[in-house]
Amino acid sequence: MTGSGSPQETVARALNALGAGAYLADEQGSIIAVNTRGEQLLARPASGLVGQDAHDLLHRTNSGEPLPRAQCRIRQSTLGGRTEQGEDEWLERGDGTLLPVVWLATPCDIGSRPSATLVLFHLAGRPGRQAERPPAGGRLSELERLALLAETTTVLTSTLDIHEALRRLINLVVPRLADWAVIDLISERNEVSRFAAAHAEGGTVVFREDLQGPMPPVPQESPMPLSRALRGVASSLAGPETYQGPPDSDIAVEQRRLFEATGMHSAIVVPLRSLHDVLGALTLGRADQPERFTGADTALLEDIARRASFALENARLYQRQRKVAETMQLHLLPKLPLTPGRSMTARYLPAPDASHVGGDWYDAFTLADGATALVVGDVVGHDLEAAAGMAQLRNMLRAYALSQQKPPSRIVEWLDQAILAVAEAPMATLVFARMTENAAGQCELSWTNAGHPPPLLVTNEGVARYLTDGHGILLGVAPDQVRPDATVELPPGATLLLYTDGLIESPGHALDEGLNRLRRHAASLAHRPLESFTDQLLARARPPDNDDDVALLAVRHIPGSS
């Protein structure tokens, strides 16, 4: 079974856990993923379903005629973003026969497609498979339970941010299953904190900050529900009466306060437990809903908790990897040299998204002939692989530049030939420059550009222009290609800016727009001291929807200070 692209493949694999046929449709009604059971029931391979309009391909009258769009409830649910169910649809199978089905369609947020709709269907007439309205007591029908479990998987696995995943979990269960949701988390240092205490109020979910915060340690022998869940022992039903007796621990005191503050009359507490650790506990409580939780609710909530724990463990592991990559990169970034006649500063800002840290770097060092070497680069890729590749490129470039007094183009040509055999970085962009004084005593910059955004030169008078000469292709593509050099004199008081593309690129906007924005802001800040110039430029020019890390190196020519 396949989907169109890796996000859909991930979703399709999650749908395979369902016993019903299932497909996901986008906001236009086109199928974006289908599970194996759906392929079997429809007698169609995924390749014949994904990308097709579900209504035109599948929905028929009981006589096999195309169903008018205005009469199709599944299509109306998909386009309207509402939950509906029924038993009055016929689907056309791949062999031309008709499949009578009971079905349920419900909105499903999968991150990249917030308007997606999950459609679950069974062969009509199978025992125990009829679509039902929720009976009195607020219990869910079997199809609604399947829909909730599928939605839990797709919604939680579409983010790698732990807090975002937990907020999504709360929105899934409140008020659908309960009035209150409480999440307690265990940190990697074995400390407990109450991440959230949230309840349904006026159609929205409201967080009670006064009930959140640090919690007492987990007692090892306590038989109380939350203590057992935080040890990963078992799920438990609870009520205010559970905590009426003398408390056996400080956690029991906090739980008594929780029941008193929320008015919950019935609750169920389940562990959030991964394959390796207990991550915390999820408590659902009812205060306004009159029905009490029963043992039959435990299995559903435990299934939700298992899926949530899987997503949380993935997010925690990914954020741990991000932290390692970020720490590694920050330690590898160098101290800037003290160079007569030049003031120099640099900045590195990690990506706001955990998936984009790793490849950007800057470097500056003094060469044997007294020139100052300047580098800004970007390794293709993210996280540890990109950070490791960046370290190798930086060290190799330093070694060539320090041992060989050659033009920048020649140094980069050697580097390009070497990385294919030695480095972990398959492709990279960079600007490598030499700053020195020429025979006339003027500050001179010579550089070569390997597929990188052009350096920006800002005069003391506020005239900003990009240095577009000396441009060649990125590293790792054509290592035998001869690279060009370019040279320019730097006027007194001029500022040279080398940067990575995170400062100018943003989704949905042309690159020229980012370049123009950077140039205008740099010109307006020309008279600022270099440190202020750099900080203000980052604050003003960096796109608000930037999702990449940024490295920036600024050098100002100070005449008469050598």
Question: In this structure, is residue 562 part of a structural domain?
Answer: no
Three-state DSSP class for residue 276: coil
- 504 lies in the same domain as 542: yes
89 in any annotated domain: yes
Contact 380, 360 (CB under 8 A): no
Task: Out of 139, 156, 173, pick the residue that ends a domain.
Answer: 156
Say if residue 366 is in the same domain as residue 348.
yes
Distance CA 387, CA 59 (A): 51
The model's pTM: 0.49
Element (H, E) at 198: strand 192-201
**Containing domain of residue 316, as a range?**
159-323
DSSP assignment letter at 503: G
**Cβ-based neighbours of 45, under 8 Å, separated by 6 or more:** 39, 94
In-domain check, residue 301? yes
| pLDDT value for 380 | 78
The answer to the question of residue 383 being in a domain is: yes
DSSP state at residue 219: P
Same domain, 379 and 311: no
Domain boundary among 125, 156, 187: 156
Q: What is the pLDDT, as a whole number, of residue 110?
A: 65
Domain co-membership, 181 together with 146: no
Strands of 421-466, DSSP E:
428-437, 443-450, 456-458, 464-466
330-349 tens-digit pLDDT:
666 678 888 888 899 999 88
CA 360, CA 390: separation in Å to the nearest integer? 7
pLDDT at residue 240, rounded to an integer: 93
Domain with 199 in it: what CATH number? 3.30.450.40
Together in a domain, 72 and 169: no
Q: What are 435's two structure tokens?
A: 């700053």
Which residues make beta-bridge pairs with 499? 552
CB of 376 within 8 A of CB of 452?
A: yes
Q: What is the CATH number of the domain that holds 117?
A: 3.30.450.20
Q: What is the pLDDT of residue 423?
A: 58
Instruction: Report if residue 43 sits inside a domain.
Output: yes
- With a cut of 50, which residues of the chain have pLDDT below it? 1-7, 126-138, 354-356, 562
What is the chain's length? 562
Structural domain tally of the chain? 3
Of 510, 511, 519, which is closest to residue 541 (Cα–Cα)?
A: 519
Q: Which is nearest to 40 in space by CA: 117, 118, 121?
A: 121
124 and 198 part of one domain: no
Q: Please say whether the beta carbons of 486 and 469 come within 8 A.
A: yes
Judge whether 328 lies within some domain. Answer: no
In a domain, 506, yes or no: yes
Q: Concatenated DSSP letters for 291-348?
A: PPP-HHHHHHHHHHHHHHHHHHHHHHHHHHHHHHHHHHHHHHSPPPP--TTEEEEEEE
Q: Is 12:31 a contact under the CB 8 Å cutoff?
A: no
436 plus 344 within the same structural domain: yes
Quote the crossing angle between the two packed helices 142-157 and 6-15, to the nearest 10°. 150
In the chain, % helix, strand, coil (3-state, to 5) comes to 35, 25, 40
Are 41 and 121 found together in one domain? yes
On whether both 170 and 206 belong to a single domain, the answer is yes
What is the pLDDT, as a whole number, of residue 384? 59
* Model pLDDT, residue 63: 77
pLDDT at 127: 34
Does any domain span residue 1? no
For residues 119 and 214, state if they share a domain. Answer: no
Quote the radius of gyration of the chain (alpha carbons, Å).
30
Per DSSP, what are the bridge partners of residue 437? 443
Are 98 and 42 in contact by the 8 Å Cβ rule? The answer is no
426 and 518 inside one domain:
yes
Answer yes or no: do 117 and 220 share one domain: no
Q: Which residue, 104, 134, 156, sits at the end of a domain? A: 156
pLDDT at 224: 94
CATH number at residue 441: 3.60.40.10
